[in-house]
Structure 1
Amino acid sequence: MNRDHSDVPTPAGYTLSNTGDAWADAPGSIAISGFVDGDVTLGMPRYRLTALAGGTPRAAETLRLAELLDARHRVVPFLGRDEEQRSLGEWLTATRDRPDRAVQLIHAPGGQGKTRLADQFADTARKAGWEVLRAYLDPGEPDRVVTGDQRRAAAGLLVLVDYGDWWPATDLRALFTDPRLHRGGPVRVLVLARAVGYWWQALRYWLRATLGVAVGEFQLAPLAPNTDTRERLFRTAAARFAALVSHSRIDAVRVPDLADPAYGSALSLQLAALVAVAVSHDRTLRVPSTLVDMYGYLLDREVGHWRQLLAGNAVTGGIEQLDRVVLVAMLAGPVPYYLGQAVVGCAGVGSEPGRVAQLLADHSTCYPPRNAGWVLEPLQPDRLGEAYLALAIPGHGWSSHAPKPWAVGVVRALLRGAGMPTAQAARVRAGALTVLAEVAAGWAHVAAAVLLPALRDEPALATAAGGAVLAKIIDLPDVDVELLARIEPFLPPRRHVDFDNVAREVVARLAADRLARNPDPVERARLHIAYGRRLANAGDREAALEQTDLAVAAGEAAVTTAASPETFALLALALHLRAHRLAAVNRYPAALASAERAVELLTPLAQGRGDSAGSFRWALAEALDNLALRLSNVGSHEKAEVAGRRAVELFTGGSRSARGERGLAGALTNLAVIEAHLGRGTEALATVRDAERIWRRLTDEEPSVYRPELALTLNTVSLRHAELGQMNAAVTAAEESVGIFHNLVRANMVAFELDLAAVLANLSGYLWQLNRRTEAFQYNAEAEAIFDRWGGANPQAFSLHLRHLRENIAAMRAQQSPVDLRRWELGAQSFNS
């Protein structure tokens, strides 16, 4: 599907198949039926927006012991967080200085009180006249949720998104383009997550650059940083629990050693208080002394709850079968009923339809779902459910908590996803892997018994839940090079912002092991090339150059040992890549020499016949594009144009392919730079706009892969506009480039900060010429700070840039006019470098 991006793109959106009463001035659920992009309607995103009902929570006297810890029941009075509430209140308030649409992320480890703070904030917003919705992942039909307030709130719309780091990226994007979030008036979205990471970096960029949404974030600090605060919170919670737990004696509650760092979170303090209250009626009972034993105590009480229901015929299955469904729910739930049937069947807990239905009914009796039509409600709070999963897996060594021999088989079955449609299996697999990686980080036996064996059997699992989960996996102590070697083929083959850093780490460990064992020069050259590419993608310029130097040396040895078209092509590739790496540290004459030799080696190979010649022609096109850049770097613009046009001809002459399209876009960007140096500004602008359209189309399809190239091309677009005197258009393109680079820097500062500094310096020049002097100083100062930092680490490479920036600032302060700050032509790298 092609789309012309020369104008502002038409926003993508969603068609609505059933909105309930939500569009008739009454809150309700929204069903989304399809994604609309242009005139194409694609698949069904799996989420749901449901009105957050007000009113009082369920009576605390009716809750089981473990339920007293569940944040949604609000059993313990809300204390503290005054500064966070004030900050959120300011963020919510709509003023002329604040945009209509804003997103805020709150992140902290589990148990710090994120959900409770969000619920308290939602109550405040509702009382102030805001409509409040909660977003759920939901692949099924919506249920009707109706509150007593049938009027549309006038102040604005607040949407709460919990477990943001567990949502698939496509579903989060679908949520943020929902029509309900783009109605008139202020809209605020509050996202909660345990950790920031690749998922948030990519989403933050997309929200700002594509939707123009204001984005903020903060980490929720520990609620109880010192012993005095912990004791106050402990006693408050204990007093509340003592009023609810029968036969308890508040005077007999034994306070643990609250100086232990384990009691730094709100949940751990409430857990300790609850268990201390529960055993206070009998001084002969041993008070659990560790958090694991405390969770174990609550889990024993859960089993007692199941037995009571079984004795009263409220459930009809056996305890072990119910236990298995609880484990399935921890990994896969909550889900709509039809998916729950598939999940339970997949896990091998039940096979006959009638049996599966009975198991789901029994589980729903024990753990009533929060939403009608859903099943497999997990144990709450999360940390209790995670402890349940960890203690179920054999190998933990806690003798007082017997493992369940069948647990490993259930987990492995869910990871396989057998018997489910592909999309459902992928969703369940990713969710289960996310939970397992989280639990395995704190419980080594979960990694050893389940997660790592599953990855060895099916290494594609490693990337099923994204880069952040893979980073957690490879940090596990027992991950060895054999497993990494099995995972490597499933890494993104090219640059991918979400995976670049973790891919570098995987390949680094593998390269060290393989190079130590392999004397073959061909294989050594390939290893150095692969590792160098990963280093370059991650932004480690000097290390990437070192690896390409080693690749060239190994390539020379390979040609000497066994000269052939393949070894000559391998050496040419190493030389081509070394030219890029040398240019990245401003060693342009050496880069030119390396690029020239690569072209010399590839030219006769590309003139041959057969299938291999076609591959060599692609390689020659990329090498010519590289050569054109290097010639331009040293001022040989006429020769550069010849090489650049040959590259474009080769990219357009072959059969259409993704590799050719990427290569063409980069070659056009570089050709535009050369045309500008030759004084053909109008032609240069048209050329680079052709490249921009290709990069925009590719970025729409895979933003994590292509948006750095789009940012580089937009810098070239801005320079071409500026040369034609079109300063407002230059500012627009440069600001978009800066916006992309700012977000890329947050994902990987080392890889993208120097490019950001260059575009900031260019933007400063445009703004100066538009008499926007304050902004010009600001952007130039930001660029100076970046180059100053890099110049300290490598003065030879970056001192010239720093001197240019300081000359510009001095000229600006002296009010000299005209001032031309447009010094940085970033061009485009060969994408396959």
Structure 2
Amino acid sequence: MLRPPADLHDYRYDNVLTLQMTALVDLLQHGPRPVDAAPGTPPEGTLLLHEDCFWEASAKTPAHRLDLDASTLGAAVAVAALCGAATRDEAVRVVTTLPGLPGHQAASAANWLAALYPADGDRYWGSLQPDRVAEYHASRVLEDGAVPLAALLAAGSPAQQAQTVTVLARSAIAHYNTGRTTNSDRVLHALDTALDTTPLAHQALQNVTVALPYPSRVTASLALRLTAALTQANRQLAALDPAACKPDLARSLSSLGVRLSEVGRRSEALTVTEEAVEIWRRLAAGNPAAYEPDLTTSLSNLGVRLSEAGRRSEALTVTEEAVEIRRRLAAGNPAVYEPDLARSLSNLGIWLSEAGRRSESLTVTEEALEIRRRLAAGNPAAYEPDLATSLSNLGARLSQAGRRSEALTVTEEAVEIWRRLAAGNPAAYEPDLATSLSNLGVRLSEAGRRSAALTAEQQAVEIWHRLAADNPAAYEPDLATSLSNLGVDLSQAGCQSEALTAEQQAVEIWRRLAAGNPAVYEPDLARSLSNLGIWLSEAGRRSESLTVTEEAVEIRRRLAAGNPAAYEPDLATSLSNLGAQLSEAGRRSEALTVTEEAVEIWRRLAAGNPAAYEPLLATSLSNLGAQLPEAGRRSEALTVTEEAVEIWRRLAAGNPAVYQPDLARAFTVRAMLLAIGDALSEALRAMAEAVKLYRRHVATIPSVLPELHTVLNLQVLLLEGLGREEEAEAVRRWLGDNPLPPDSHN
């Protein structure tokens, strides 16, 4: 009896073809004529061993009488899979290129292949099926040197050239996706070498640039090469006949922008996309019905390219234009234009958020998701990637609105989809999975699930490290973002040394990127510098901490002056951090000034959006409360710390896991202020509240252990001051029995 694979639960079996091939291999290998397949042979390889026997038997029949060895027969089957043939003449021309095939047998070999795998319709050749087996076979024969690829391309018609390149590109992706990266590299190298000496016909370039799988980082360089060649050809044709050929030039320019961006060449991508938009604008002005859909595609692409260049205001403007046109088109023909409308809405949500228009951003992101849910319900294979993108975007927008529970739910749904898609096609979807995992880490951290957050972020960093090693220009920004997020998660897990290392790596990347393109990368550099200042302070390196925090504030002041709605929250965060570090450095007057500025910003923001900004206001109020007594303003200090306690108390009632540690910190600050004023009994009660809250979370949030030690040491002092020595001694014993780990910073 045949048993199912032991790992049938694996994601790869979600692919029906993989499941069917695995089942067929098991059936054949338990049949009367099993083949000698080495352990670990992929299903495609085992099926081809069975096909070998069929080829040899068929070739020797009276109908064909082909006296060829198994290698040449296999190479002929590979040529049919690579090229196909519409006519007998096309078939004979390409099969004649095989070095092991005598010229007088070329026509017979072509006839044998036509009989072996009959074609559908009026084509002469069919092909080995399923496609994955054909692609695997063709690539392996190519790697063995049995097919002269340059000669094959030279002999082929434009349609055959396009099919050859497409089949090999798909085989390279399939090899990569199943861990055969060396085979993938060899196939792509062989294809590049052949293209160096054998340029493709114009029609072949048109066909193959449409047929190449997208997205796929494995074939990104190949896709760029072919799209650049097509654009160059279209430019020459448009110079000869502008009226007929300008649309093709604009279309290839738009595609070239996407391909250039894919490999990290963003400045060039912007230039060609702007050129495409200029052509489409002119064409659409003369014939809107014919060219407006193409114009909106290019406008949407231009929005992405402008954002990559840091020109976010312009990105927002052109994307709003694309949405306006696509709304009109979708109203008249939803089936055709709704997918495009959803794509533009999704981009618009991002640019609106970056412009600080968060309420509008949330609205359009929800609209994009509603469309994509409907589309994915009808056609999951086509629209699930778009659905997952919108879910991830919505998670970020909901978090900004303070709706963190909903944000986590949709982000988890996005990750589940990307995991499934990336398991089946890592070449296409691993970058999306890594992005979604990084977002999930942030959402889990916001929900107080810090261990799960750390795990998700570590998975994201591992993927980005691998991707950035192959293509730094494309993936280093993502790696730096994920490293910065990882630093936060490591700090919350009590791993301060590792947190500092991760953030230093992120800052090093952002500095290099910002030196080349400040408009794009300075906001990210400032974010990483702000985090680095915190980790350096926790490591006791206060002078360095102050230096990098001042640098972060300087960058963010400049950004907020140009766009307050987008950058004021970041400025207030850095000001709050700077206030704490100036206070530690003894520069208390300056500390108080910047902390008051931070509180003023947070008050204004929290008045407009309490859910998003009240936690930050409360943190800043506690910082202010700690600094006011140094200026002799103790009464004001008690007032603002009481306000902070009340905010945290309200927030912690709704989400204890996230906000109780913050409430404990607010109680600690208040207790210290009360103690300064000799209200020792009241201070002890506040300190007891803090201790209770910290104890509740110390097992799940290791980073609060140093804070618990600080609070308990203060509690000892208060108990001694009140003459309660026995209770003070009990606390001292607990501290002695539960020392801090060596890596902790108290």
Identify the TM-score tier after normalising by the shorter chain.
0.5 to 0.7
Q: Which residue of 1 aligns with 2:193?
A: 475
Residue 427 in structure 1 maps to residue 133 in structure 2: yes
For the 8 Å contact 2:138–2:168, the answer to whether it is kept is no
Partner of 1:642: 363
Q: In the aligned structure 1, how far is the partner of 2:167 from the partner of 2:30?
A: 23
Instruction: Tell me, yes or no, if structure 1 residue 351 matches structure 2 residue 61.
Output: yes
Q: Quote how far apart the aligned CAs of 1:444 are.
A: 6.1
Aligned: 1:731 with 2:449? no
Which residue of the partner structure matches residue 223 of structure 2? 503
Matched, 1:574 2:280: no
**Deviation of residue 562 (structure 1)?**
1.6
Matched, 1:782 2:505: yes
**Is 1:683 matched with 2:406?**
yes
Query: Which structure 2 residues correspond to residues 682-761 of structure 1 after superposition, within 5 A?
Result: 682-761=405-484
Name the CA shift for 1:48/1:663 in 2 (closer, same or farther; >3 Å). closer
* TM-score normalised by length of structure 1: 0.51
Whichever residue aligns with residue 281 of structure 2, its letter is E
- CA spacing shift, 1:770–1:418, aligned 2, 3 Å: same
Let me know the Cα RMSD of the aligned residues. Answer: 4.6
Whose strand fraction is larger, Structure 1's or Structure 2's? 1
Amino acid of the structure 1 residue aligned with 2:20? G
Residue correspondence of structure 1 range 204-603 to structure 2 within 5 A: 336=49, 339-344=51-56, 349-352=59-62, 404-406=102-104, 418-419=116-117, 422-423=128-129, 427=133, 430-436=136-142, 439=145, 448=154, 455=161, 461-463=167-169, 465-466=171-172, 468=184, 469-476=187-194, 477-482=197-202, 483-492=204-213, 494-518=214-238, 519-520=242-243, 521-564=246-289, 566-603=290-327
Deviation at 1:636, TM superposition (A): 1.2
Report what 1:235 is aligned to.
Answer: none
Q: Distance in 2 between matches of 1:581 and 1:753?
A: 17
1:770 aligned onto 2:480: no
SS of 2:378's equivalent in the other structure is coil
RCO higher in structure (CA 8 A, sep ≥6):
1
Please say which structure displays the higher CA radius of gyration: 2
Deviation string for 1:701-760 (max 9, x for gaps)? 433222222221111111111122322121111112112222333443322221111111
Residues 153-192 of structure 1 correspond to what in structure 2 (within 5 A)?
none
Q: Kindly indicate whether the alpha-carbon contact (under 8 Å) linking 2:44 and 2:133 is maintained by their aligned counterparts in 1.
A: no
1:661 to 384, 406, 413: 384
What is the alpha-carbon distance in structure 1 between the residues aligned to residue 403 and residue 97 of structure 2? 71
Q: Is the 8 A contact 1:580 1:591 kept in 2?
A: yes
Residues 442, 620 of structure 1: alpha-carbon distance in 2 compared, 3 angstrom cutoff: closer
Paired residue type of 2:190: K
Question: 1:141–1:699: structure 2 CA closer, same or farther, 3 Å change rule?
Answer: farther
Q: CA deviation at 1:762?
A: 0.7
Distance 2:259 2:32 in 1: 40
1:47-126, aligned counterparts within 5 Å? Answer: none
Unaligned runs of 5+ in 1: 1-15, 19-30, 50-136, 146-158, 162-166, 173-332, 368-374, 379-392, 824-833
Note the residue ranges of structure 2 that are not aligned, 5 or more in a row. Answer: 76-94, 119-126, 174-183, 553-568, 571-746
Give the Cα–Cα distance (whole angstroms) in 1 for the partners of residues 335 and 74 of structure 2.
56
**Whole-angstrom CA distance in 2 between matches of 1:807 and 1:502:** 40
Displacement, 1:456?
A: 6.5
Other structure's SS at 2:342 match: helix
TM-aligned CA distance change 1:416 to 1:816, over 3 Å: farther
Correspondence 1:615-654 to 2 at 5 A: 615-653=336-374
TM-score, L = length of structure 2: 0.56
Summarize deviations over 1:159-185 as a string: whole Å, max 9, x none.
987xxxxx87x769xxxxxxxxxxxxx
Offset, 1:143: 6.1
The 8 Å contact of residues 300 and 318 in structure 2, kept in 1 or not, is answered as: yes
Partners of 2:413 and 2:47 in 1: how far apart? 47
Deviations 1:559-595 (Å, cap 9, x if unpaired)?
A: 222222x422322222211111222233222211121
CA shift digits 1:548-569 (9 cap, x unpaired): 21122112111222222x4223
Q: CA deviation at 1:772?
A: 0.7
**How far apart are the structure 2 equivalents of 1:453 and 1:602?**
34
Once the two structures are TM-superposed, the CA of residue 632 in structure 1 deviates from its matched residue by 0.6
Percent identity between the two aligned chains: 23
SS state at 2:218 partner: coil
Deviations 1:397-449 (A, max 9, x none): xxxx9994247668867987933884378636643454346638999657656
Output the CA distance in 2 between the equivalents of 1:689 and 1:572: 32
Q: Could you say if the C-alpha distance between residues 535 and 431 of structure 1 is closer, same or farther in structure 2, counting changes exceeding 3 Å?
A: same
What CA deviation, in whole Å up to 9, does each residue of 1:322-367 have, x standing for no partner?
xxxxxxxxxxx9964x523422356xx42249978xx79xx79xx9
Could you tell me how far 1:700 is from its partner in structure 2? 3.5
Q: Contact 1:718–1:730 at 8 Å: present in 2 too? A: yes
Identify which of 654, 659, 670 aligns with 2:393: 670
Judged with a 3 Å threshold, the aligned counterparts in structure 2 of structure 1 residues 426 and 141 are, in CA distance, closer, same or farther, namely farther
Deviation of the 1:789 alpha carbon: 3.3
The residue correspondences of 1:142-157 to structure 2 (distance < 5 A) are 142=34
Q: Which amino acid aligns with 1:550?
A: E
- The amino acid that maps onto 1:540 is R
Q: Aligned equivalents of 1:450 and 1:617: distance in 2? A: 39
**Distance change (3 Å), C-alpha of 1:811 and 1:524:** same
Is the 2:300–2:344 contact (alpha carbons within 8 Å) kept by the matching residues of 1? yes
Q: How far off is 1:513 after superposition? A: 0.9
Q: 8 Å contact 1:32–1:48 — kept in the other structure? A: no
- 2:128 and 2:134 in contact (8 A); partners too: no
Mapped to 2, the partners of 1:770 and 1:447 lie a distance apart of 58
Contact 2:55 2:73 in 1 (8 A): no
Return closer, same or farther for 1:461/1:724 CA change in 2, 3 Å cut-off: closer
Cα 1:632–1:719 change in 2 (3 A) is: same
Give me the whole-angstrom Cα distance separating, in 2, the residues matched to 1:160 and 1:782: 42
Contact 1:528–1:550 (CA under 8 A) maintained in structure 2: yes
Cα displacement (A) at 1:677? 1.0
1:43 pairs with one of 20, 31, 36: 20
**Which structure: greater helix fraction?**
2
